Amino acid sequence: MRPIASLSLALLLACADTTAADEPLSPYQWQQAQKVAFEKSEKVYADALKRDGLLAQYAAMRDAYRADKDRAFRIVFGQYLSWYQSFVGDYAGAHDSYSIRQLPSQDDAASPLSGGQVAKPALEAIATLAKGRKAIFLNEAHNVPLTRTLTVELLSKLRADGYTHFAAETLYSTDTDLAKRGYPTAKTGFYTMEPICAEMVRTALKLGFKVVAYESEREGNGDIREYDQAKNLYERVFKNDPTARVVVNAGYAHIQENGKYLGGRSMAQHFTRLSGIDPLTVEQTMMMEHPPGTESHPFYLAAIAQLHPTAPIVFENAKGEPWTLKPKAYDVSVVFPPAPQGEERPAWADLGGLRQAYFVAGDFCQKQFPCLVEARYADEGDDAIPADRLVLDPINAINRVNDKVIQGQIEVHGNLYLRPGRYRITGVDRENHSLARKDVTIGSGGATAPAAGTRAGKGG
């Protein structure tokens, strides 16, 4: 599986350059080192894809990353690894492996704490801002599923308001059975391999949205890809249905409304020129916590320190006009609260309370590690992307502060996050051999039929 046109060397280099300030090489030498790292990364990635099963692919990539200390390789390949860490549910690890610094910039607005701005729950405020619009574009950091959680929660409100279509980056147009089947599989897209992204598509289908694949199918990146995405979006949504209203999920600056992007225009800029529609653009990748060793924006740090939010917020002035960090590029910025310290899997995976934590202990996998644990909806096929998944692995667990060492052994466990309903929970080893399977029912108050080796409710 590969992302369509996502492995752009130009984009990877642009992101990687932001972390190379202390590299003792000339700019040209550093750029050449990154090109070599990109070629090496492609080879490691291609070799990993030959392995049988997601766990084996992830483990091969993780091992290659750990074994190679070259700075350029770790910066470039860190993005590849981070995608797969998100796929297997290691959300903290995914963010640690790849993060873009969010430094102050001359095009920043004044701090929302400087006066006249009031914090509002993002879920309600954005739903209100979207009323009467033809399109709402929400961006995400592809390896940080936190930036998908608000979109999942928003979908029901937007559908109730009359939005008709949902479109997401790197969905494959070749999956013509998606609507009939009702759930994503490995053939549906690239980022939908991550369970929250899959839940976003699954939720849209269940709510009655027409799900649209708008990814470019031409060779090339930069302006070629951006124009093709916009053209596909316009033609597949509005050309035959001028009354349509669309929710669009895209990565990073694909949704910026002004300025150059990769030497040309962004998808959103092309879309507006083609359609005449001004979308509501919701920026979700800048005002969030960044891993140790990278920088969070000082406005973010100040807002968190002063307000201590427990759910995503936005800022509005007395006229109800939203605050945005980048006034020339986006309409509104979302501020995400940080995950509490020491959590092995962040509680934001509960999707604002839509899902509950379900504790899984190591003996579910017969104490054979690493073990990939997956929970699929009972009425979906074995080809479905799981509702959630995690890896139980004592090698990783030994570095976690909250794990207990008992008689020289690590207590391996984790939480799955599941909506109320019926599931089958499975475990496989690195060779993709089955280790365990159990049917469970998650009620409104927790699990009513816990899997062997697991207990219901929140676990530490």
DSSP character for 441? E
Q: Report residue 269: phi and psi, to 5°.
A: -65, -45
Given a contact cutoff of 8 angstroms between Cβ atoms, the answer to whether 154 and 285 are in contact is no
Confidence of residue 408 (pLDDT cuts 50, 70, 90): very low
pLDDT digits (tens, 9 = 90+) for 263-313: 899 999 999 999 999 999 999 999 999 987 678 999 999 999 999 999 999
Cα 323–chain centre separation: 23
pLDDT digits (tens, 9 = 90+) for 419-436: 999 999 999 999 999 999
Confidence of residue 163 (pLDDT cuts 50, 70, 90): very high
The highest-confidence range among 7-11, 322-326, 453-457, by mean pLDDT, is 322-326
Name the pTM for this structure. Answer: 0.91
- The residue with greater pLDDT, 221 or 34, is 34
- Give the pLDDT confidence score for residue 397 in this predicted structure: 54
Confidence of residue 21 (pLDDT cuts 50, 70, 90): very low
List the beta strands (DSSP E) in 293-433. Answer: 313-316, 332-333, 356-361, 371-377, 388-392, 405-406, 409-410, 413-418, 421-428
CA distance 379 to 21: 51
pLDDT digits (tens, 9 = 90+) for 353-364: 999 999 999 999
| Residue 126 burial class via C-beta count within 10 angstroms: exposed 0-12, middle 13-18, buried 19 and up | buried
Cβ neighbours of 225 (radius 10 Å): 24
H or E element, residue 408: none
Q: 216-220, 267-271, 325-329: which range is least confident on average?
A: 216-220
| Amino acid at the residue 428 | V
